[in-house]
Structure 1
Amino acid sequence: MGRSYYVDESVQKYFTRIAHQKNNFVTGLLIGQCSSQRDYIVLAARTPQKEDPGEGPQKSKSKPEEIDEEWFCVHASQVSRMLPGGFLLVGVFLISPPELSKEAPTILRKLIFTTEKFAMKDKLWNVADEEITDRVALQICSSTNKIVCRTFDVKDLKSTAKPADWKYQSAPMSWLTIECNINVDLTVSLPSSATYQEQQKCTRTRLAQWAKEIEESTMLFNGRVRDEGGDLVEEQKKGRSAPSGRQIVSATVITSSNISGRSTARVQVCNSSLKIQGVVKCRGYVCNSKPKVKDAIQIIKRDLLNTISDRCEITFEDLILNRSVCDFEKAPCALPLPQRVFVPIPASGAALCDYIIGEETREEVQSRFLEMLDHEVNYEDLDFVEEGRSAPAEEEAVCKPSGDEKCPGRKDVPSSSLSPGVGIIIAAAVVLVAILVYFLK
């Protein structure tokens, strides 16, 4: 027996609207949540039109070989950044006329595996053995609206198609919200005269080390340690309610450094460093149908790892594109990481997220949400969970040189200076503390 996908009714209306436009080929992504019991689809987003400089939007595809696989994967990579804890790219869809239906299964299979590859690229966590790795390939006839639903196991490159059920639901799905504020304090050592790409590589390496600490951390729900195999619903009854009426469970992450306050000393030669500091606001969603504590733990930890990694990637991409450089002769450079904003999913108590870079406006967020997810967002519905911050109250990257090197940043953010040679003094102090701690054990 194949898997069953429970789909929000708004997705059905979305497909009907697209089919009526009589395009030859329409590809897109399916967003939802997988579980051992049921799989849920909350949103569908077609691939945006690719625009060539000076030529405008491209015409709709009339042949299978005209589908731009690379552009499809770029879209998938961008959308994966907009998914909070609990949501993932569950699969892909293809709307095509009946005369091209024979080519559809081959196209869908190829898109399924390439999408998974791009969505999982540079993730700080690994898929667990017991996780559901089936992804759905949905084929829709633009003339008859006939649906063919199949699944492929993305961990098996030789996987064959399996039949699956596609069930629309008129009643909105009920989602339980898990929220967590986590203090992050990371230092990334940078070599002398490092390029943006080298700094990016050093940051990824440091984040991978930090990810191991997060994976080994303990999590509290509403202030209590819970049995991972137990139901989270019991805790939900005591959870607070938001003004919108959604139920919220508060989570707290406890790491080994939080408990002991000590860590292994490490000396590394470097000329500058990048500090990532502040309070990260995490959010995850789990379908309110007997959710397990272990699912909630995984959702929040992955949201934390994803949001920090994505913000760093976005920052470096912005620096590489704009070639921004700040002068450190007088002061180090503060780099406020992109600000997180949540956007409600239509007809759902859940939300997706986006990131604001620099002085971007709400209108730009609305425009990007429309481009990436093909859905309009009301101005007043945007939820700026980090609004009104002042550096470094929220997460912020600060590059501090110990010599005359320069590193990327913004000139308009003041910060305290760090004189030459301070890095060497700090390294020596760390060594002395480590020796004292060793002999005092």
Structure 2
Amino acid sequence: MGRTYVIGEYSERYLKKLKAEERYGTTGILLGQITPAKTYIIFAARTPLKDQAELPPENPSEMNASDIEWVSEHARQVSRMLPGGILVLGVFLIRPPNMSKEEAQDIFRKLATAVEAAVAKERLWNFTEEEPPERIVLQIYADSKAMKLRTYDLHNPQTPTKLLECKSSSLTSTWQVVEATINVDVHIPIPTSAEQQFDKGALKGLNFWAKQIMQSSFLINGHFKDADSVIGEGSKKKSPVEVQFLSAPVLVPENETEAVIESCSSSVAVKGTVRCRAYLHGSKTKVKDAIQSLKRDVLNTVFIRCEMVFEDQILNKNVGGDSVSHKAPHRVFASILPSGVAFCDYGFTDEGSKDLEDRYKELLDYDLHPAQLDRTEEILLEELGIDTNPDQEISFKTDEEESMDTGFKYKGVAAAAGVGVIAVAVSVIYFGNFIGGST
């Protein structure tokens, strides 16, 4: 029995609206969930125009590398807004009347490949062999009401796409929510070969911590539950499930381990507490699938916030001069679908609701109402003092700097990272060669 593909009524109305506006040549991304039996398309968002005054290209087959990079960068930015269980499923195109089948196949292949590559760069996890190796491409024809869905094989990009039947559904039933609060305390050596202290490549050092999270045990609402059991079994309604992760040393096979000696000049310290969330559709979601989605959300949100702090430092050129305090952004959820599924954004302390609303409009083409924003969850954790202790204040330091009981003494390059729900900073501490494990 083949897979079932379902498109939500919200997404279907949105795509038909774009077609009615004769936005031929418009590209965009599809968001949703892949389960063992079904693929759900729950949201569609067009690619923003580079210039608001311009129109989509009349012939998408003439898109150049810059245009494709623009589409994939949009996908990367949107992927940051997705909770656990929700993915960038693929791309769509409002196909012009004069576009041939061959041209459409070629541009879809280029777009789908670029989008997946861009999104994958920010993952600290890999798909399992059991998960379907596919992404979807959706064509909306200019001269008919038809919307044709095809699958694109991630493992074999050059194979022909397969035409599929897509069913429409309201998808308004409440999804199962699983949540967790995670304490993070990670120190990452940075090789001297790094081009700059804020190089995003330095975050690859989170991989060992990521393995620890993925191998951790768990409790469901404080109790052990078999991985193959149903996550909401015994409950009359889909009330949120709280998960507690129990970490342990990473188990690495002996034949996959080798000693590594690498010269490192600095380290990244990541400390704090984060709130994570995943959404699962269906009444028979297994515990193991829910836990996998939640663990991936843990890795995603920590990596994203680290990267955003790095990007903020680079953008504001805070690499010298007086000390400047920084907090990593809070995660702000917003329920934008009838089912209650919430996307999220990351707000720095100096950003208001208007900044978040503008980003939802730009990236998701969605008019967000302030009442839909939930800015309380992580801020409440911070106010309760769960992660606000002096040990979580890390700074940029050189070998000339001296640590004091009351804080840090700065000389030369210095920038303190304040304590947020997750505090992120780089300590430039010269310590010679670092010996570690590599797998």
What TM-score comes out, normalization by structure 2 length?
0.82
Distance 1:198 1:65 in 2: 38
Q: Is the 8 A contact 1:275 1:398 kept in 2?
A: yes
Is residue 228–residue 294 contact of structure 1 (8 Å, CA) maintained in 2?
Answer: yes
CA separation in 2, counterparts of 1:209 and 1:128?
A: 18
Alpha carbons of structure 1 residues 177 and 294: separation in structure 2 relative to 1, 3 Å? same
Q: Is the 8 A contact 1:235 1:249 kept in 2?
A: no
Does 1:297 find its partner at 2:288? no
Distance 1:411 1:290, change over 3 A: closer
| Residue 309 (1) aligns with residue 303 (2) | yes
Which residue number in structure 2 is paired with residue 430 of structure 1?
A: none
Quick one: distance in 1 between partners of 2:193 and 2:160?
50
The 5-angstrom pairing of residues 3-402 of structure 1 reads 3-51=3-51, 57-67=53-63, 68-102=67-101, 103-170=103-170, 172-190=172-190, 196=196, 200-205=200-205, 207-234=206-233, 236-237=235-236, 247-256=239-248, 272-325=266-319, 335-384=326-375, 385-387=377-379, 389=382, 393=387, 398-401=394-397
Deviates more, 1:94-103 or 1:221-230: 94-103
1:30 is displaced (CA, Å) by 0.5
The verdict on how the C-alpha distance between 1:268 and 1:377 changes in structure 2, with shifts beyond 3 A counting, is same
SS at match of 2:379: coil
Distance in 2 (CA, whole Å) between partners of 1:394 and 1:40 is 40
Assess, with a 3 A threshold, how the Cα gap between structure 1 residues 280 and 61 changes in structure 2: closer, same or farther.
Answer: same
- The answer to which of 181-190 and 294-303 deviates more is 181-190
**Match among 383, 390, 415 for residue 409 of structure 1:** 415
Structure 2 stretches lacking a partner, 5+ long? 251-259, 401-410, 421-426, 434-439
Question: Does the 8 A contact of 1:32 with 1:42 survive in 2?
Answer: yes
Instruction: Please give the alpha-carbon distance, in whole angstroms, between the structure 2 residues aligned to 1:162 and 1:397.
Output: 53
Task: Kindly indicate whether the alpha-carbon contact (under 8 Å) linking 2:395 and 2:417 is maintained by their aligned counterparts in 1.
Answer: no
- Residues 338 and 171 (structure 1 numbering): CA distance in 2 closer, same or farther, change over 3 Å? closer
CA distance in 1: counterparts of 2:306 and 2:198, whole angstroms: 13
State the Cα distance separating 1:173 from its structure 2 match. 3.6
Distance 1:413 1:12, change over 3 A: closer
* Compared CA separation, residues 199 and 310, structure 1 to 2 (3 A): same
Q: CA deviation at 1:117?
A: 1.2
Q: CA deviation at 1:178?
A: 0.5
Moved more, 195-204 or 73-82: 195-204
Q: Which runs of 5+ in 1 are unaligned?
A: 259-265, 415-419, 428-441
Q: Contact 1:137–1:149 at 8 Å: present in 2 too? A: yes
Q: What letter matches 1:317 in structure 2?
A: E
SS of residue paired to 1:31: strand
| 2:5 partner SS | strand
Letter of the structure 2 residue corresponding to residue 36 of structure 1: P
Partner of 2:437: none
Number of positions where the alignment pairs a residue of Structure 1 with one of Structure 2: 398
> What's the CA shift for 1:213?
0.9
Residue 309 of structure 1: CA displacement? 0.6
Shift of 1:191: 6.2
Q: Render the CA deviation track for 1:313-334: whole Å, top value 9, x for unaligned.
A: 1111121121113558xx8x75
The whole-number CA distance in structure 2 between the counterparts of 1:211 and 1:164 is: 36
Q: Report SS of the residue matched to 1:73.
A: helix
Distance 1:97 1:186, change over 3 A: same
Please give the alpha-carbon distance, in whole angstroms, between the structure 1 residues aligned to 2:151 and 2:110: 12
Q: Structure 2 CA distance, aligned partners of 1:69 and 1:83?
A: 22
Match of 2:257 in 1: none
What CA distance in whole angstroms lies between the structure 2 residues aligned with 1:134 and 1:356? 33
Per-residue displacement from partner, 1:154-177 (whole Å, max 9, x unpaired)? 122233211212111135143101
Mapped to 2, the partners of 1:101 and 1:168 lie a distance apart of: 27
1:172 and 1:411 mapped to 2: Cα distance? 42
Moved more, 118-127 or 80-89: 118-127
**Aligned counterparts of 1:397 and 1:96: Cα–Cα separation in 2:** 52
The aligned residue for residue 437 of structure 1 is none
TM-score where L is the length of structure 1: 0.81
- Residues 267 and 251 of structure 1, relative CA distance in 2, 3 Å threshold: farther
